[in-house]
Amino acid sequence: MREAPQLAIGVPCGKIEVSEPEGSGTVEQWIMLEQENRGNTCGPQWVCGRKIAWTWLMLACALVISTATLLAGAGTGRTAQDPSARDTQTSSGKTPVFRVQRLVVNVPVTVLNKRGAPVIDLPEKDFKVYEDGKRQEIAYFRQEPLPPLRIGLVLDTSNSMKMQMKYEKDAASQFVYNILQGQNTNNQIFLEAFDESSYVVQPFTSNPDLLNTKIQSLKAGGGKALYDAIYSACQSVMLHAGNPERTRRVLVVISDGIDVQSKHSLDEAISMAHRAEASIYTIGNSLYGYSNPGDRFLDDMAEETGGWAFFPLEEQVGTDLLTGYLAHGQMNPDGSQNVGLGARTGIYSAEKLEHLADALDNLDRQLDSQYSIGYTPSHQQLDGSYRHIRVEVRIKGAKVRYKTGYFALAHPS
């Protein structure tokens, strides 16, 4: 608890306590008025909490002043010993608590140049934030230090991934070590796998060795319910990943984007991601030369949630077959090797793993170069409505990705 300067207000009051309980995009300020020593001038004011501006402190004091005046029976000549004044206590004898809610929205923003490289060191004045078309005042702006990451790594282990599983697992393990490097990291990752059903293989942890062990133990087989997996990851895990103002919530989905058995629709999965304030980054792993309708759905997930879609295996087969990827008829029966390269060269395997890992490494760089922007919406009513967010950056030709919106929901008491 931190003391604010003493204020000689000269009215009955007690102390003000302001806290920030965890919630989905909200900061709740609890103002407690202790009905003691009525008639005495105000003593020191106490303020607990972070990021509370002077304006809010003064508004809180004004609330205390007006409430204390009413309770003391202003204008009636009552004193602290007046029984009728004491009757303003609640029947249970507890001190009344007055709640003031202030909605604060955190927006992670990624800015890329024309070549796809992150743009760093932009000043706050280069950004504009809009909610439902109305310009909002930025409350805080930072690039370093960024809020810690809460990442859900969602791996497709359906039967169609058998040919891809080894590369998928090795690239995922490398990504885990990159994100969780350093003993003092505040980042955490949970692992979810899915076929016709989804299950959390490893809850949130900052231990890369533990995650690597769980990743390497996965086996492919079964049906495919991608949308259910995303819905479940957001509802069961991401919604409980701490205050979104203090963390960045990300789902990394490695899949071909095909869904055949989900009970939830794509729109429902995206809506749950919005509610969890999670951005979805997708890594498409379908082979070159095959028409894959799932790529469009992976792109939609990323676009609608402020993430990014990567398709590292889309490059064409090179003229020397050393830099390209599979076309029809260039695969062994077990799918393990590019026939055009020979059964023992291993060049295709290395190239494929390298490009999957490169896509995840690119994702890592994007997350490491984000801007964290917070604003207090002009529309403060927590009515459950969906609010659309738009971020503009004053750089010609820049590609900007950001959280596209949120549901204005109050955190239950």
Peptide bond into 145 cis (omega under 30): yes
Please report the DSSP string for 31-57 in residue order: EE----STTSPP---EE-SSS--HHHH
> Can you tell me whether residue 237 is helix, strand or coil?
helix
pLDDT at residue 53, as a whole number = 44
Local confidence band at 52 (pLDDT 50, 70, 90 cut-offs):
very low
**More confident position, 181 or 190:** 190
pLDDT at residue 371, as a whole number = 96
Residue 287 to residue 272: CA distance in whole angstroms: 29
User: Residue 90's CB: how many other CB atoms inside 10 A?
Assistant: 10
Lowest mean pLDDT among 73-87, 126-140, 163-177: 73-87
pLDDT tens digits along 310-323: 998 765 433 333 33
Position 21 pLDDT exceeds 70:
no
Please report the DSSP string for 165-234 in residue order: HHHHHHHHHHHHHHHT-STT---EEEEEEESSSEEEEEEEES-HHHHHHHHHT----S---HHHHHHHII
By percentage, how much of the chain surpasses pLDDT 70? 64
> Can you tell me whether residue 122 is helix, strand or coil?
coil
pLDDT at residue 9, as a whole number = 33
Q: Are 370 and 108 in contact (CB under 8 A)?
A: yes
| Segment holding 269, helix H or strand E | helix 266-275
pLDDT at residue 256, as a whole number = 93
Rounded to the nearest 10 degrees, what angle do helices 294-305 and 266-275 cross at? 20
Q: Is 51 left (phi over 0), alpha (psi -120 to 50) or beta?
A: left
Rounded mean pLDDT, 255-277: 95
The most confident of 3-17, 162-176, 352-366, by mean pLDDT: 162-176
pTM above 0.75, yes or no: no
| Residues β-bridged to residue 30 | 99
C-alpha separations of 384 from 92, 102, 406 in Å: 33, 15, 9
pLDDT at residue 250, as a whole number = 97
Local confidence band at 59 (pLDDT 50, 70, 90 cut-offs):
low
pLDDT at residue 8, as a whole number = 34
Position 269 pLDDT exceeds 50:
yes
Rounded to the nearest 10 degrees, what angle do helices 347-368 and 165-179 cross at? 30
Rounded mean pLDDT, 96-116: 77
Rounded mean pLDDT, 74-103: 47
Position 309 pLDDT exceeds 60:
yes
The most confident of 19-33, 56-70, 175-189, 271-285, by mean pLDDT: 271-285
Q: Are 409 and 384 in contact (CB under 8 A)?
A: yes
pLDDT at residue 200, as a whole number = 97
Q: Are 108 and 368 in contact (CB under 8 A)?
A: no
Local confidence band at 60 (pLDDT 50, 70, 90 cut-offs):
low
Residue 179 to residue 311: CA distance in whole angstroms: 20
pLDDT tens digits along 22-44: 334 443 333 233 333 333 333 33
Position 307 pLDDT exceeds 90:
yes
Position 373 pLDDT exceeds 80:
yes
Local confidence band at 410 (pLDDT 50, 70, 90 cut-offs):
low
Local confidence band at 11 (pLDDT 50, 70, 90 cut-offs):
very low
Average pLDDT, the chain: 75
Position 385 pLDDT exceeds 60:
yes
